[in-house]
Structure 1
Amino acid sequence: MHHKLFSREELQWLIVLCWLAAVIMCIVYLPHAGKPFKIENSSDPSAESAIAQQIMKKEFPYSGSRVVMLYKSNSVSAYDAGFKAQVNKSLAGLKKLDFEYRIISPYENTRQISDNQRVAYAVLETDRISEDLANSMGRINTLLGEPRNLKLYLGGDAAYTADINRLSEENLLRGELIALPICLVVMIFVFSGFLAALLTILVGVINITIIITIIYLLGHQIDLTVFVLNIATMLGLGLSLDYTLIITYRFREEYPKCHDCQKTMRITLRTACKAVFFSGLIVLISIASLTFFPINILFSIGIGGIVVVLVTVLSSVTLLPALLCLFEKYVTRSNPKLKRISSEDARQHRWYQFAMLVMRYPLSFMIPTILFLLLLGYPFLNAKINISDAKILPAWTESRKVFDQFNKSFNVNDMAPINIVLQSTRNNILSKKNVGAIYDYVERLKKDSRVDRVISIVTLKPGLSKQMYQQIYSTSPLPFDEYQNKIFKSMAKGKYTVISVISKYSKDDKRNFELIDTLRFQGVGNGIVKNVGGLSAEIIDTMNIVYHLFIKVLIFISVFTYLALVWLLRSLILPLKAILMNFLSLSVCYGMLIFIFQEGHLAKLLHFQALGFTDINLPILLFFVLFGLSMDYEVFLLTRIKEFYEKTGDNAKSVAYGIERSARIITSAALVMVVVTGAFVTADIVFIKAFGLGAALAIAIDASLIRLVLVPATMGLLGNWNWYFPKWLDRILPKLNFHQ
């Protein structure tokens, strides 16, 4: 019944006008597309580290976003009167801010002055979230002014958020401007004509416009990461061009045989559109599986992926067929000069011969190829997992400069302590027994060889005994100076207090993880309960949650994909082989990510600095996105092979003919996807750059060595076992015939 939608010209125009109306309505929102997205809340809200952070934000003042103001001189000491006067004058300008804040000056805490005394930093502490404070960074920069003879840099989570937001929008536009013209040129050579190529690009632009608008509207209802726009645009453009390429190519292939648009469209809908539908279904389930993860960046891209697949598949089976019917005479034309260059017949003949050669010597092709792919994936065994920080930004951004200077001049762990939130279950946290229990607990912490120092309510005045602290907290007012009073107010309230443990090791060091495990196991005493938080604790919690869920979700999408392919291909063997091939291509992607971005190979060529780690979300994100995308080419190839097998019943000839007819289109579709994802390698944010390159590498390997070498090799080796399907299952499962 679907083909009847395109039986009359009026219906075709109605479909096109509906899509154009949707695009016109969406254009209004495009200038504001980046507004509602966030970077915060990247961890599971039910994790212990997240609970600790929630308590701190709720109970203690100024536990929200911070701005680090770093002052640097090449010649003058931070203790010099002129240096100090300029810092104080600069900080005084912040009095005009219209929200609550407090400032920790380097002259209140001398640890905020570097050992060489040339660098000092102040901290602006607020109750605001980083997205809100990021919007005030311009105002803060203006109020701070330009200190005479000093260099001022702004960093911290708010500055980091501001840089991420700005670069995300710039990288998104740059990626599209690079990808679209190159894809148009590729399409022109694939179709040997301009209009057919232009139609595919037009559908892609329409899809991207609608996808961005839907995600923008969703961003006002649910928390979505700022990265969702870049990745959704990348996926949307790539999938759209892939699907339109497959359908348009099949339409042009069948048209000379039928010389009738309606008959051609019926065949196209029964073959290519059916393959696109099943491919989209598998991609949808794979990417939608990310929504099972309570990690915001994974959940967000899962939501974005659902929007991408629904829009691209819907346009591919409605808008594109309508356009093909309306412009059939122009779409089916080929430029003779381009036709000679592309030479379809010669290419098809070579692919047929190559497939027969591979099937004649399957082990000779299969074993070296598998060993080569495993070698490329080997570096993943050295993966070092961490949470992204300012290192994913280019060195010229201001927040990255502060990050690098801080690492050089100060103890970086001072800005990333392990926070232990204590809660009294009986009375005020400052009761005599509670203070005694906390004092004993802190003394035990100090004796741990992995601990550098401890900041708590019982370390504010060094050298005091337990009894002295118990006496202090039983009197009023407290005998603290101004700085000590600031720290106390940020550490104790009602039934709560927080202890900050400064580790000797970096946040992703194995010994630091072991320290957190120890802290979580130790008791405090007197019925006091605790939650351990901080960046290191967040890494541990995120790893535990992600990889615990990963196994379950992996089994789910593997089973679903297997069942969908069993129904589509009517084989128990081919779907299993397809899934194993997917895992093989993904291992290459993972290995190359470690080799390039963690270890820094090709860093100069790709314009980034080696991270030394792999973001915890990146392997999970790439797996679920690429599992679906890689299955695209498997579906396109195997459905074509299945089509010939239904006609001939000959396994070898079906494989050879299937590759002959689909190798060119699979290579072209993969080239388009590589161009789209590869365009984002130009991104300034390393996370986006790594995702783009990882996707491009996986797709290139998948469409070449996997589909065009391993598929015919394994199918030649298995012979008729490829099509093993029990008769009882054949009777009860609805048939999906591909013959015309």
Structure 2
Amino acid sequence: MSELLGRLGGWCARHGRIVLALWVLAAGLLTAGTLVWGRPVTNNVAIPGSDAQRAHDLMREGFGPGLDVGGTAQVVLYSKDRTLIDAPTRRAVERAMDGIRRVPHVSEVQTPYRVGGISSNLRIGTIVVRLRGQDSTRLGELSQQLTDAAKPAADAGVEVVAATSATPADKEIKTGTSEIAGVLVALLVLLFAFGTLVAALVPIFTALLSLGVGLGVIALLGHVIDVPKSASIMATMIGLGVGIDYALFLLSRHRRLLADGVPVRDAVRRTAASSGGAVLFAGGTVVIALSALMFTGFPMLITLGWLTGISVVCAVLSSLTLVPALLGLLGHRVNALRLPFSGRVAGRSGQAGGWARLGVWVSGRPWRVLAVTVVALAALAAPAAALKLGPLDAGYSDQGTPARRAYELIDVGFGPGANGPLMVVAETDRAIADGTPADPVVQVLRQRLEHTEGVAYVAPPKVNENHRSVLFQVVTDYAPSDHRALDVVERVRALQVPGVRVHVGGEVAGLSDAGARIMGRTPLVVAIVVLLSAMLLLLAFRAPLVAIKAAVMNLVSLGAAFGALAVVFSDGLGSRLVGMDPPPSVEGSYLSTLFFSVPIDTYVPLMLFAVLFGLSMDYEVFLLTSVRQAYARTGDNRRAVAEGLGATGRVITSAALIMVAVFTAFIAYPDPLVKVFGVGLAVAIAVDATVIRGFLVPATMVLLGRLNWWIPRRLDRVLPDLAIEGREEDAPAGTPEPELVGAARHARP
């Protein structure tokens, strides 16, 4: 494989202008396509085979338009000075309703003067708007249209706030501040790492170009599949981070070879053959981890996983083709525009530095280092036991936004459960009458619902036009984000009425079913990710113990990430710091608004696991590649570990700093999901690149000795020799290949 990658890199270096033109053309065409045809996204959270999905399917037919999720909006009214039933106010509200009826896609407008439409103090009301053919991805535009149409009420002194089915995670993100901040910090890190402006700009340019291609592909795929709104954000976070990192590793290797006197094109070929293989395997682990999400049975999470994987694939492809092309075009000018006070690039003989000294220090006392790091990592992971999972609702939106204001008004006027009512659909074995008095089956079912613990209100039933099912809107005593609302869902589903099958839909029920399915599939997904990643490492290094140890180390870094999430969000010690506003239920004292718990969506830990496991494996691959090369030259395991850490420590640290900067910058996004990922990814990468790769991995490798590279003879004969470390490429020009290479490959304890 190293030979193939070397040939590819050499070809790209010789035809740099062609490769660069193709990448620029691809990015330009895809970007133009998104501008012309748009970026369709969806809020579809269908869960095939679930009870909530069955309820939603029944709601789509026979109950009129807008009853399925995403087909209903509300216009919340608040009259501060007088009640809504005062004659002048009522006339203004009715004129507003006439304007709302003229809004495109509106099929029905329900007056607030219906039963249950006005609060007990007569100052808060809701106009229910049912839609037909509305694009569920343009909820922000719809909200503005409804608000503008209700201007007559606003002119009469009534506060008008449109509330759609959007959640905080559905918010339109129109700012590029986080991306710009992340790129600027990455540029500073690269300037410090390379000391020249040209070298620092190569990874930035490569990552941005590959990201443009990846986002363009994802945007156009929205025309043929359901693309979650958060897919582009996740792809940007991961694609930008790995794109810069992969180019950084290749560029560092290339500049060391140039410093050793290797000709430019030969240096490019060697870089592609050795570090290119490491990049390919590192990216492969990320894609494998994300692809394993297909076993969750949750379509949105599956799509989110492999769409994010597209950005990783683009980053790998750009690293293997575009980076060699740029290096070939630049030649020795890659070291141009040197910054003041920066030293020259060190070649093979110039690796002695802080990380090399740390490697020697760790190698000299592995047991003590192992004990201290295990205790430290256990302390970091301990808070993860208190991680609080649950749904988020609009109560966690930014204060002052329409979504947050509508949530607060509905909470005050109708109770917290009115922000996420249950949609109860009952299928019957016989035809039921639609009229007054209600069919006996409907009466019994309504009485059972009203007497269910946690139910505050049951709206009048609506019988399907085929007379085989009936719909109830049920308001609970709890906010959608309250875990007690999930208990109400289960109690309603447990109702037993002869000849009736009860299904519960709505936001709360859907999230409950999604959480249950994901929790049930989590062990399977974790096992698949760990097993496939370990197998990939086994193919890469032909060392079973190294592969197993790498998988365990990645799980350790995940513990630290989940511990940080528990402290920041579940314990609430950093919820304010990351820009979250307390929901109405916790507003009060200074301390309660300063430290408040924020639930984390049930699917987030599994998605975070897949992303983090793949990213952590990146650094493991690069470190092991360097150690393996050193061991091939010397045959001394302790020395190889120290040299490997010394050779990669600065590069891995720089790469980690870039990742941490990019992920931290995304915490500024208003989407709580992005905040959670930003915190978790930043902490995990920081711990992984320092504590784990700097102390734990070297200590364990020293203790294992020659067992690191042991492989059973039968397995050795079966496995293909992929040689990603490019053993034949590692020596300087004119240096014969050491005979220890063979000993390293077939070392026995």
TM-score (structure 1 length as normaliser) = 0.88
Cα distance between partner residues in 2 of 1:2 and 1:577:
27
CA contact (8 A) 2:147 2:162 kept: no
CA contact (8 A) 1:168 1:227 kept: no
CA contact (8 A) 2:515 2:603 kept: no
Partner residue of 1:497 out of 470, 483, 498 = 470
Residues 81, 222 of structure 1: alpha-carbon distance in 2 compared, 3 angstrom cutoff: same
SS in 1 for 2:473: strand
SS in 2 for 1:529: strand
SS in 2 for 1:28: helix
Q: Which residue of 2 aligns with 1:712?
A: 698
SS in 1 for 2:105: coil
Q: Which residue of 2 aligns with 1:301?
A: 304
Q: Which residue of 2 aligns with 1:471?
A: none
1:122 is the counterpart of 2:127 = yes
1:687 is the counterpart of 2:676 = no
> How much does 1:417 deviate?
2.7
Residues 142, 446 of structure 1: alpha-carbon distance in 2 compared, 3 angstrom cutoff: closer
Q: Which residue of 2 aligns with 1:523?
A: 496
SS in 1 for 2:340: helix
Partner residue of 1:104 out of 100, 110, 124 = 110
CA contact (8 A) 1:153 1:401 kept: no
Partner residue of 1:94 out of 79, 100, 105 = 100
Partner residue of 1:578 out of 547, 550, 569 = 550
Q: Which residue of 1 aligns with 2:19?
A: 15
Partner residue of 1:113 out of 118, 121, 135 = 118
> How much does 1:128 deviate?
4.5
Q: Which amino acid aligns with 1:516?
A: V
Cα distance between partner residues in 2 of 1:34 and 1:597:
35
Q: Which amino acid aligns with 1:704?
A: T
Residues 336, 238 of structure 1: alpha-carbon distance in 2 compared, 3 angstrom cutoff: closer
Q: Which residue of 1 aligns with 2:593?
A: none
Residues 379, 342 of structure 1: alpha-carbon distance in 2 compared, 3 angstrom cutoff: farther
> How much does 1:655 deviate?
0.6
- Structure with the higher fraction of residues in helix conformation: 1
Residues 71, 500 of structure 1: alpha-carbon distance in 2 compared, 3 angstrom cutoff: closer
Residues 392, 304 of structure 1: alpha-carbon distance in 2 compared, 3 angstrom cutoff: farther
SS in 2 for 1:530: strand
SS in 1 for 2:81: coil
Cα distance between partner residues in 1 of 2:162 and 2:567:
30
> How much does 1:90 deviate?
2.2
Counting only pairs closer than 5 Å after superposition, residues 394-405 of structure 1 correspond to structure 2 as 394-405=398-409
1:555 is the counterpart of 2:555 = no
> How much does 1:618 deviate?
1.5
Cα distance between partner residues in 2 of 1:31 and 1:212:
12
Partner residue of 1:642 out of 628, 637, 652 = 628
1:27 is the counterpart of 2:31 = yes
Deviates most, 75-84 or 637-646: 75-84
Q: CA RMSD in A?
A: 2.8
Q: Which residue of 1 aligns with 2:427?
A: 423
> How much does 1:512 deviate?
4.0
Partner residue of 1:196 out of 195, 199, 206 = 199
Which blocks of at least 5 consecutive residues in structure 1 are unaligned? 458-487
Q: Which residue of 2 aligns with 1:37?
A: 41
Cα distance between partner residues in 2 of 1:342 and 1:181:
23
Partner residue of 1:667 out of 653, 659, 674 = 653
Q: Which residue of 2 aligns with 1:253?
A: 256
1:288 is the counterpart of 2:254 = no
Q: Which amino acid aligns with 2:331?
A: E
Which blocks of at least 5 consecutive residues in structure 2 are unaligned? 582-595, 731-749
Q: Which residue of 1 aligns with 2:518?
A: 546
Cα distance between partner residues in 1 of 2:607 and 2:457:
37
Residues 2, 361 of structure 1: alpha-carbon distance in 2 compared, 3 angstrom cutoff: closer
CA contact (8 A) 1:69 1:152 kept: no
Residues 271, 685 of structure 1: alpha-carbon distance in 2 compared, 3 angstrom cutoff: same
Q: Which amino acid aligns with 1:156?
A: A
Identity %: 27
Q: Which residue of 2 aligns with 1:169?
A: 174
Partner residue of 2:606 out of 617, 620, 634 = 620
Residues 341, 734 of structure 1: alpha-carbon distance in 2 compared, 3 angstrom cutoff: closer
Deviates most, 116-125 or 178-187: 116-125
Could you list the per-position Cα deviations for residues 574-612 of structure 1 after superposition, in whole angstroms to 9, with x for gaps in the alignment? Answer: 211111111111122112222213333233333222563
Counting only pairs closer than 5 Å after superposition, residues 197-276 of structure 1 correspond to structure 2 as 197-276=200-279
> How much does 1:434 deviate?
10
Q: Which amino acid aligns with 1:421?
A: V
Residues 7, 295 of structure 1: alpha-carbon distance in 2 compared, 3 angstrom cutoff: closer
Residues 375, 456 of structure 1: alpha-carbon distance in 2 compared, 3 angstrom cutoff: farther
> How much does 1:234 deviate?
1.4
> How much does 1:382 deviate?
2.3
Q: Which amino acid aligns with 1:599?
A: D
TM-score (structure 2 length as normaliser) = 0.87
Cα distance between partner residues in 2 of 1:165 and 1:233:
17
Q: Which residue of 1 aligns with 2:565?
A: 593
Cα distance between partner residues in 2 of 1:24 and 1:675:
27
> How much does 1:30 deviate?
4.7
> How much does 1:166 deviate?
6.2
Cα distance between partner residues in 2 of 1:365 and 1:235:
32
> How much does 1:282 deviate?
0.7
Cα distance between partner residues in 2 of 1:184 and 1:280:
22
Cα distance between partner residues in 2 of 1:687 and 1:576:
31
Counting only pairs closer than 5 Å after superposition, residues 478-493 of structure 1 correspond to structure 2 as 488=462, 493=466
Q: Which residue of 2 aligns with 1:483?
A: none
Q: Which residue of 1 aligns with 2:81?
A: 75
Could you list the per-position Cα deviations for residues 179-211 of structure 1 after superposition, in whole angstroms to 9, with x for gaps in the alignment? Answer: 222222221221111111112111112111111
CA contact (8 A) 2:169 2:672 kept: no
Aligned length: 702
Deviates most, 378-387 or 209-218: 378-387
